Amino acid sequence: MKIKKGDNVIVIAGKDRGKTGKVEKVFTKTDMVLVEGVNVITKHQKNRRSGSQGQVVKKAAPVHVSNVALSEGGKPVRVGYKQEGEKKARVSRKSGKTI
């Protein structure tokens, strides 16, 4: 997967198209990423003990990795790889800079 935790990404498809955020968690088995402030859902929680109240909680849901792209200067960028000595580095396809 070309997107990692801590990357700044921009949403390129779906209801939150155009929004940007930081990747909080990556789910490699399902190819999903959790981006802060994107795909926010409201979840109704029941009360935990008798006498207390239930509540409505807003929470970010994962987005498929194909619907996000790495952001460079506020624009979406495709990612490539370059061999630098023994290491493999991620590179922006548009500018050629190392990410």
Q: For every one of its 99 residues, what pLDDT tens digit does the chain have, with 9 covering 90 and above? A: 899 999 999 999 999 999 999 999 999 999 999 999 999 999 999 988 888 889 999 999 999 999 999 999 889 999 999 998 899 999 998 888 888
Q: Where are the beta strands (DSSP E) in the chain?
A: 8-11, 20-27, 32-35, 40-45, 55-60, 63-64, 68-72, 75-77, 79-84, 87-92
- Asked if residue 32 lies in contact with residue 62, where contact means CB atoms within 8 angstroms, the answer is yes
Which structural domain range is residue 29 located in? 8-92
The answer to whether position 28 is within a domain reads: yes
The total of other beta-carbon atoms located within 10 Å of residue 45's CB is: 10
> How many domains are there within the chain?
1
| pLDDT given for residue 51 in this prediction | 82
The answer to whether position 35 is within a domain reads: yes
